[in-house]
Structure 1
Amino acid sequence: MLATATKVFATAVLVVAISEVAKRSSLMGAVLASIPLTSVLAIIWLYADTGSTEKVADLATGVFWLVLPSLVLFITLPLLLRAGVPFAPSLIGAAALTVACYFLMLGILKLFGIAI
């Protein structure tokens, strides 16, 4: 239980730190947010918990394939916001489109026999 609480705390601190940096500098916030820190933390936690390099390799492969559809959020959200759509509907619309792209990507991967 302590290990799980430590993981949650460390991850939460990271997210809050990035948002605080972004308040001062959009560029620095973007740089920090674009580094796959969450993925690296998940990989570290997974390896610490299981000791399995195979599980780590599977996770890293899955993250690679699913980063592609996640880019839809970062394209759609600023387009909607700059078009004058309010924040909440923009975020919901961009997230919904991203989820649809995740399912599309999973279908494409399955079509090519790539299991993640």
Structure 2
Amino acid sequence: MLYYILKIFVTVMLIVLVSELSKRSTFIGAILASAPLISVVAMIWLYIETKDTSKINELSNGIFWLILPSLALFVSLPLLLRYGLNFYISMGISICITILCYWAIVCLLDHYGIKL
């Protein structure tokens, strides 16, 4: 139980760190947020728990293929905000666009025999 509390604490602290640093400098916040911190932490937790490098390989491969559709959020959100849409509406639309992009890439990869 203590291990899970530690996992939650470390993971939450990374998110809080990005949020707090972004208040002071959006550039520093962007650097931290764009770094694959969550991916690295997830791989570390997975390795500690399983010692299975094939699972790390699969996770890393999946992350690689799914980065491209995740970028849709970072393209659509600023555009929608620039056009004056409310933040929450813009975020909702951007999330929907991102979900559609995830679906499209998964279908495309499946068509070419790449299983995630």
Pair 1:105 & 2:105 matched: yes
Q: Which residue number corresponds to residue 73 of structure 1?
A: 73
Q: Where does the alignment leave 5 or more consecutive residues of structure 2 unmatched?
A: none
For 1:57, the equivalent position in structure 2 comes to: 57
Is residue 32 of structure 1 aligned with residue 32 of structure 2?
yes
TM-superposed deviation, 1:20: 0.4
CA distance in 2, matches of 1:63, 1:97: 18
List runs of 5+ in structure 1 lacking aligned partners. none
Q: Which amino acid aligns with 1:63?
A: I
Q: Give the % identical residues.
A: 47
Name the CA distance, whole Å, in 2 between partners of 1:39 and 1:18.
15
Q: Deviations over 1:9-44 (max 9, x none)?
A: 100000001010000101110001000000000000
CA distance in 2, matches of 1:48, 1:111: 34
State how far apart, in whole Å, the 2-side matches of 1:105 and 1:73 are. Answer: 15
Shift of 1:3: 1.1
Cα distance in 1, alignment partners of residues 113 and 8 from structure 2: 35
Aligned length: 116
Match of 2:6 in 1: 6
Give the alignment of 1:42-53 within 5 angstroms: 42-53=42-53
The alignment's C-alpha RMSD in Å is 0.5
CA deviation vs aligned residue, 1:52-81 (integer Å, no higher than 9, x gap): 000000000000101110000000000000
